[in-house]
Amino acid sequence: MGQNLIYLIPVCGIMALVFTYWKSAWVAKQEIGTPKMKIIAEAIADGAMAFLRAEYKVLAIFVFGVAVLLGFSGASQDSSHPLVALSFIVGAVCSALAGFIGMKVATKANVRTTNAARDSLGKALEIAFAGGSVMGLGVVGLGVLGLGTLFLIYNNMGWDIVKVINVLTGFSFGASSIALFARVGGGIYTKAADVGADLVGKVEAGIPEDHPLNPATIADNVGDNVGDVAGMGADLFESYVGSIVGAMVLGAAFIGVIGFENTNEYGGLNAVLLPLVLSGVGIFTSIFGTFFVKVKEGGDPQKALNVGEFLSAGIMLVATYLIVKGMLPDTWSANDIATSELKEFTDTGVFIAVIIGLFSGLAIGYVTEFYTGTGTGPVKKVAAQSITGAATNIIAGLGVGMMSTAIPTLILSAAIIGAYEFAGLYGIAIAAVGMLSNTGIQLAVDAYGPISDNAGGIAEMAELPKEVRQRTDKLDAVGNTTAAIGKGFAIGSAALTALALFAAYMQTAELSVIDVSKPIVMAGLLIGGMLPFLFSALSMNAVGRAAMDMIKEVRRQFKDIPELKAALAIMRKNDGKDKKDWSSEDIDTFEAASGKAEYSKCVEISTKASIREMVLPGLLAVASPIAIGFLGGKEMLGGLLAGVTVTGVLMAIFQSNAGGAWDNAKKMFEEGVEIDGVKHYKGSDAHKAAVVGDTVGDPFKDTSGPSLNILLKLMSVVALVIASMLA
């Protein structure tokens, strides 16, 4: 069976890319709409591509530099290192490509969704979701194709399997480092533009953020694409690849294990192939699911998304059972690190580990929803605390974020112990693979959100009738629960994958024990624990600086561009008056200003600032494990990884959920929220206090929080790549 599987895996990846191409072409064929919509959409698409070009230029230098170091570092001791460099480059390129494909289709789908929303909700959903599924299947397709092909090539070199997989880890390194830069860079971009459009445009000048007179409006919409689409795509690509590679490394330890020797001609290779096969099959269940996401006018888009996602998850679960049963022997014996004795494991145990992974991911998702969903107890409390001002709102949000770490941590701990009990370290790794095997459709749902959001922005900027915006808002409003569950899987899989990579690092570095009572390990643990704090501080400061650049530019435009200046003066003169009551002269002057704002300058500034600011946090993540590993030794590096995993997971949950709670507390005021018997609306003092909380939460939930999930895996994979040198 194994021999055929090896060739079939890349084929699954190709299938996904074919689907991606087909869907993408379908999206491109849809109508764009009015000329104004076309102009706006092109400006957004151009801005997004300009960012990607600038980002990839910098990343190319980084990738080249690291590849040279990787190739060179091993030249003297092991001929395989140039190939680690190759894996690294392929991983980086696949990750970049995934981001590119996603952004390309998103910037096409957004305006077409707007246009479709002029007629029907169903068609709009179809286009937005098609855009999302291009992204989703592009990511998994590139992951499976890249890993599968490289594995095929290296496996034919005649090396032993451990070496094959060691060389393959470079792919994960490439994927993770690009993901970190993309997340941080995209996060900074989107927040800088957001603050510029909000703070100067809306608050200082009194112009809505999506209004054509607001110079930062295009940059703001570009930001949604580079942050929420490209950033998230690279992020999930790295999670997906990381979980597969982690399980493959641990699977290699099964070679020669009693019970495994006869499963195929390679002897135990099946444990290595299992994660790839699960991911390959997941591609088909994801594609299958996408065909069920359909809604009629008046129907519920949430239900449509649920049907697609749960259907494909259900089929995947059955498939997983059959595959695990088919590929693994009924029983085998392996060393139990907890007791150092031989222990018997079963294929059913591995399947149970997958179930544990799925349920813990789901449970963490529901906890996330409980702490951050509109109208839930904690979010209501944050809204209620806005009555006494911004300070109490902030304290309440911080409290919710911190409190929300408790249950997910307990769930994760139980999952780790449970998966290990049933299937050893391999069980922990496979649980993460199980969580992510449906990434194709999960990401389709995730990416559908920002596409609908963008569609609404375009409707506003192009001044389309109100019902268009209402339809896109309806699309945008759903998918919160699915997104929360997606977050649960992201956090859960990040922790489990980091542990799998940690175990893989220990195997490769020939470490049997990392004793935390040794001072050097404790020092590593402390420093590792500190890194997520430092990383968060760096990225928050970066957002602050980038936003300042943007604020200055927007202010400059309002001061230097005569038409904008005149339009602002007229707005101030007619303060509060409805536009139809203005004098015709005023209206003429005002209309003349439309389009005079230099949007591209703002786009350029956001791009420059975010590229400049992403470098330091990114380098910190790559350099620290290398520095600690070579200066402090492999045990200290082990401590560092444990520390970064623990506080990374905690800080990620804390920041994401605090940000989510603030965001939805603010949103509750938009529909009116009853506190102590009085109803408070948008524009009230309490609402203003809630806006402060939301602004604080933005860099938490969109920049530093999600980056931490990548950070902890990136550090583990860097350690894994240098492990053989430290051994």
- Interacting positions 285-344 with its own copies (CB under 8 A): 337-338
Binding part of the chain for its own copies, among 64-72, 178-186, 396-404, 711-719 by CB under 8 A, reads 396-404
Among 395, 477, 566, 626, binds its own copies (CB under 8 A): 395
- Spell out a b/e string for 514-525, using b for 16 or more CB atoms within 10 Å of the CB, else e: beeeeeebebbb
Nearer to its own copies, 90 or 503 (CB): 503
Site for its own copies in 702-721 (CB under 8 A): none
Cβ 209 vs Cβ 220: under 8 Å: yes
Backbone angles phi, psi at 633, to 5 degrees: 95, 170
Which of 420, 426, 489, 590 lies at the binding interface for its own copies (CB under 8 A)? 420
Residues 244 to 283 in contact with its own copies, rule: CB under 8 A: none
CB of 432 to its own copies, least distance (A): 14
- Residues 528-557 binding its own copies (CB under 8 A) are 529-530, 533-534, 536-538, 540-541, 543-544, 547, 551
Task: Provide the minimum distance between the beta carbon of 658 and its own copies in the complex, in angstroms, as a whole number.
Answer: 10
The three-class DSSP label of residue 331 is strand
- Say how far residue 34 (Cα) sits from the centre of its chain: 33
Nearest to 127, CA basis, from 233, 27, 22: 27
DSSP 206-227: ---TTSTT-TTHHHHHHHIIII
Of 207 and 495, nearer to its own copies (C-beta) is: 495
Question: Please, which residue, 60 or 513, has the CB nearer to its own copies?
Answer: 513
Of 150 and 495, the one with the shorter C-beta distance to its own copies is 495
Q: What are phi and psi of 398, to 5 degrees?
A: -60, -40
- Select the residue interacting with its own copies from 271, 328, 501, 692 (CB under 8 A): 692
**Window 177 to 216, contacts with its own copies (CB under 8 A):** 199
Which residues in 580-619 contact its own copies (CB under 8 A)? none
Q: Decide whether 307 or 522 has the Cβ nearer to its own copies.
A: 522
The Cα–Cα gap between 213 and 461 comes to: 10
Q: Which residue from 665, 696, 711, 718 is in contact with its own copies, where contact means CB under 8 A?
A: 696
In which region does residue 267 sit, left (phi positive, over 0), alpha (psi from -120 to 50) or beta (all else)? Answer: left
- 421 to 450: interface string for its own copies, x by CB under 8 A: ----x--x----------------------
Kindly identify the residues of this chain, within the stretch 634-653, that bind its own copies according to CB under 8 A: 638-639, 642-643, 646-647, 649-650
Q: Half-sphere exposure of residue 624, counting CA atoms within 13 Å on the CB side?
A: 27
Q: Are 644 and 529 in contact (CB under 8 A)?
A: yes
678: β partners? 675
Per CB under 8 A, the list member of 522, 587, 616, 626 interacting with its own copies is 522
Residues 398-417 that bind its own copies (CB under 8 A): 398-403, 405-406, 409-410, 412-414, 416-417
Ranges within 213-232 binding its own copies (CB under 8 A): none
Judge contact between 113 and 472, C-beta under 8 A. yes
* Number of C-beta neighbours around residue 265 at 10 A: 9
Shortest spacing between CB 512 and its own copies, in angstroms: 8
Considering the complex, state which of residue 154 and residue 654 has its C-beta at the smaller distance from its own copies: 654
Determine which residue in the list 391, 569, 592, 623 makes contact with its own copies, applying CB under 8 A. Answer: 391
| Other Cβ atoms closer than 10 A to 259 | 19
Can you say how many angstroms the Cα of residue 160 is from the centroid of all Cα atoms in its chain? 34
Near its own copies by CB under 8 A: residue from 134, 327, 514, 722? 514
* 194 or 476: CB nearest its own copies: 194
Figure out which of the listed residues 333, 388, 574, 684 binds its own copies, where binding follows CB under 8 A: 388
The torsion angles phi and psi of 332, rounded to 5 degrees, stand at: -155, 165
- Comparison of 522 and 619: residue with beta carbon closer to its own copies: 522
Reported as type and span, the H/E element at residue 569 is helix 562-573
Residues 168, 150: contact at Cβ < 8 Å? yes
Q: Which of residues 461-500 bind its own copies (CB under 8 A)?
A: 495, 499
CB of 642 to its own copies, least distance (A): 5
| Contacts with 124 (C-beta within 8 Å, 6 or more apart), sequence order | 113, 114, 116, 117, 452, 455, 471, 472, 475
Query: Is the CB of 58 or the CB of 414 nearer to its own copies?
Result: 414
Tokens 């409980």 identify what position? 370
Per-residue buried b or exposed e for 607-623, using 16+ beta carbons within 10 Å of the residue's own CB? bebbbbbbeebbebbbe
Least CB distance from residue 191 to its own copies, whole Å? 10
* Residue 524 beta carbon to its own copies: minimum distance, rounded to whole angstroms: 8
Q: Which CB, 428 or 443, lies closer to its own copies? A: 428
Total number of residues binding its own copies (CB under 8 A)? 78
C-beta of 93 vs 504, nearer to its own copies: 504
Handedness of CA 206, 209, 214, 219 (dihedral sign): positive
237 φ/ψ angles, rounded to the nearest 5 degrees: -60, -45
Q: How far is the CB of 620 from its own copies (least distance, A)?
A: 10
d(CA 416, CA 397): 29
The residue to which tokens 């949007």 are assigned:
599
Contacts of residue 716, Cβ cutoff 8 Å, sequence gap at least 6: 497, 498, 501, 502, 505, 641, 645
* 525 near its own copies (CB under 8 A): yes
User: Where in 360-379 is the site for its own copies (CB under 8 A)?
Assistant: none
User: In the bound complex, what is the minimum distance in angstroms from residue 381's beta carbon to its own copies?
Assistant: 9
Options 36, 163, 518, 555; binder of its own copies; rule CB under 8 A: 518
Stretch that binds its own copies, among 23-31, 90-98, 420-428, 438-446 (CB under 8 A): 420-428
Kindly tell me which of 255 and 511 has the beta carbon lying closer to its own copies.
511
Q: How far is the CB of 718 from its own copies (least distance, A)?
A: 18
CB of 74 to its own copies, least distance (A): 26
Which amino acid appears at position 103 of this protein? M
| DSSP, res 343 | E
User: Three-state DSSP class for 673?
Assistant: strand
Contact of 515 with 521, CB cutoff 8 Å: yes
